[in-house]
Amino acid sequence: MKHSSYLESLIGPSGDVSPLRSILFDGVTGLPTLPLVIESLKDVASEQNRIGIIFVDTTGLEPLEQEHGWESLDALLNQVRVFLDSVVARFAPLKLFSIHRVSGDDFILVLSSSDSSIPVSNSQVAEVSSNLQDLLNDYLCLKMPASLLPFARVFSGHALLEYSTNLRFERLLSRSINKAFQIAVSQQLRARETHVHELHEIVNSDRIRTLFQPIVSLENLADVLGHEALSRGPEGTLFETAEFMFTLAAQSGILHRLENVCQLQLLSILQKSSSSKLIFVNLEPSFLEQDLYQRLALFQHEDLDRQNLVLEITERIAITDYEIVAKSLEAIRKLGFRIAVDDVGSGYASLQSIAYLKPDFIKISEKMVQGISKDFIKQEIVKTLRDMGGRFSATLIAEGIEDEKDLHTLQELKVQFGQGFLLKRPDERLLG
Binding site for another protein (CB under 8 A): 15, 17, 69-71, 344-345, 347, 349-352, 374-378, 380-381, 384-385
Nearest-approach distance from CB 383 to another protein, in angstroms? 9
Between 35 and 347, name the residue whose CB sits nearer to another protein.
347
Nearest-approach distance from CB 159 to another protein, in angstroms? 35
Measured over the CA atoms of residue 233, residue 234, residue 239 and residue 242, the dihedral's sign is positive
Nearest-approach distance from CB 358 to another protein, in angstroms? 17
Phi, psi (5° rounding) for residue 421?
-55, -30
| CA pair distance 414, 386, nearest whole angstrom | 8
Between 104 and 347, name the residue whose CB sits nearer to another protein.
347
User: What DSSP state is assigned to residue 25?
Assistant: B
Nearest-approach distance from CB 355 to another protein, in angstroms? 11
Look at residues 288, 289, 301 and name the one whose alpha carbon lies nearest to residue 332: 288
Nearest-approach distance from CB 69 to another protein, in angstroms? 5
Between 71 and 303, name the residue whose CB sits nearer to another protein.
71
| CA pair distance 143, 141, nearest whole angstrom | 6
| CA pair distance 241, 243, nearest whole angstrom | 6
Between 70 and 293, name the residue whose CB sits nearer to another protein.
70
| CA pair distance 156, 184, nearest whole angstrom | 5
| CA pair distance 310, 326, nearest whole angstrom | 17
| CA pair distance 3, 281, nearest whole angstrom | 61
Nearest-approach distance from CB 384 to another protein, in angstroms? 6
Between 142 and 377, name the residue whose CB sits nearer to another protein.
377
Nearest-approach distance from CB 250 to another protein, in angstroms? 25
Between 60 and 371, name the residue whose CB sits nearer to another protein.
371
Between 4 and 352, name the residue whose CB sits nearer to another protein.
352
| CA pair distance 256, 290, nearest whole angstrom | 11
Which residue pairs, CB below 8 angstroms and at least 24 apart, start in 404-412? 405/373, 405/374, 406/369, 406/370, 406/371, 406/372, 406/373, 407/218, 408/373, 409/372, 409/373, 409/379, 410/218, 410/369, 410/372, 410/382, 411/218, 411/219
Residue 379 and residue 412 in contact, taking contact as beta carbons nearer than 8 Å: no
